[in-house]
């Protein structure tokens, strides 16, 4: 049965995944595993089986799905249906054949398929999708989990952002706390907004683009050749991905070189 004319409630048997077999598993996300499935008409879909910790009732879940389904943009993956049976909650999305960006950038053999022009295009398209979510959508969604595995690619390598509305399903009824973090012996304190317990070893580095406070701040920029550059307030290059001769006075540059950030 359909509701809100934008997303449908589907019986589980409509989107066969061979009982969630490992052969059909596409990946594992923070909200649950994803499987390849088929509708009765033969259309391929991606089926996300949500973890039971989503923790809300049926009507509350339906209401959230209706809200998520209103997020429509050419750079977002489209939700086409859901299945609700007892404690089982399943979301059905459009299937994209090239899976996610991480399957290319972390695979030495497949990296060559993504030349710099494709990478640059992906960056721009993802940025437009984020702009829609943050500024132009009806919900003003702040995406807290942008990563390569959440950027899906169609057969022409055009990206679409996924998992953009799922935090709403998992954070219903949970308290949000604001606290100050003071890592180690640092004299600086940082304001954090937390949904979960913060590990004791968490370190937060803050960079203010408009008013850098000291040499722990900098701006990362991407050049046309794909070079990543860190510059300070005076536009001095502190660090470059193509040059290991970094400024020893910059803490951020040292962190980038060490990989411990």
Prediction pTM value: 0.61
Catalytic residue from among 102, 145, 154, 215: 145
> Hey, which residues does 2 pair with through a beta bridge?
8
Model pLDDT for residues 37-91, shown as the tens digit of each residue: 888 888 888 888 887 755 556 777 777 777 788 888 999 998 888 887 767 788 8
Give burial (CB, 10 Å; 0-12/13-18/19+) of 101. Answer: buried
| pLDDT band for position 1 (cuts 50, 70, 90) | very low
Please determine, looking at this structure, whether the domain spanning 2-170 carries the CATH number 2.40.50.140. Answer: no
Average pLDDT over the chain reads 70
Q: 48 near 17, Cβ under 8 Å? A: no
List the structure tokens of 48. Answer: 């996300």
Domain ranges of the chain: 2-170, 206-261
If you average pLDDT over each of 139-143, 151-155, 207-211, 253-257, which comes out highest? 151-155
Burial 82-92 (b: 16+ CB within 10 A, else e): bbbeeeebbbb
Q: What is the mean pLDDT of residues 116-123?
A: 91
| Mean predicted confidence (pLDDT) in 208-231 | 56
In angstroms, the CA 202 to CA 217 distance is 18
- What pLDDT, in 10s, does the model give residues 166-210? 766 555 545 444 444 444 444 544 444 444 444 433 333 444 444
Which pLDDT score, from 0 to 100, does residue 55 have?
A: 56
Q: Is residue 8 predicted with pLDDT exceeding 80?
A: no
pLDDT tens-digit map of 100-109: 998 898 888 8
Is 145 noted as a catalytic residue in this protein?
yes
Collapsing DSSP states into helix, strand and coil, what is residue 22?
helix
Q: How open is the CA angle 235-134-80, to the nearest 5 degrees?
A: 135
- pLDDT (0 to 100) of residue 175: 47
């Amino acid at each position: 049965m359909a509701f809100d004319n934008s997303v449908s409630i589907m019986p589980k048997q409509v989107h066969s995944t061979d009982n969630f077999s490992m052969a059909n598993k596409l990946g594992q996300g923070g909200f649950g595993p994803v499987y390849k499935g088929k509708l009765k008409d033969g259309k391929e879909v991606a089926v996300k089986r949500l973890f039971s910790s989503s923790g809300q009732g049926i009507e509350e879940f339906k209401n959230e799905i209706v809200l998520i389904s209103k997020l429509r943009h050419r750079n977002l993956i489209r939700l086409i249906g859901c299945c609700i049976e007892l404690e089982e909650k399943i979301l059905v999305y459009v299937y994209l054949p090239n899976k996610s960006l991480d399957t290319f950038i972390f695979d030495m053999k497949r990296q060559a398929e993504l030349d710099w022009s494709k990478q640059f295009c992906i960056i721009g398209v993802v940025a437009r999708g984020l702009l829609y979510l943050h500024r132009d959508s009806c919900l003003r969604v702040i995406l807290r989990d942008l990563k390569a595995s959440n950027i899906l690619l169609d057969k022409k390598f055009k990206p679409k952002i996924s998992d953009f509305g799922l935090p709403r399903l998992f954070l219903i009824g949970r308290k949000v706390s604001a606290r100050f973090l003071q890592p180690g012996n640092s004299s600086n304190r940082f304001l954090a907004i937390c949904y979960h317990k913060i590990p004791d070893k968490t370190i937060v580095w803050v960079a203010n683009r408009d008013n850098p406070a000291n040499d722990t701040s900098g701006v990362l920029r991407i050049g046309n050749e794909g070079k990543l550059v860190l510059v300070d307030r005076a536009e001095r290059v502190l660090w470059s991905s193509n040059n290991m001769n970094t400024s020893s006075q910059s803490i951020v540059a040292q962190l980038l070189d060490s990989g411990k950030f």
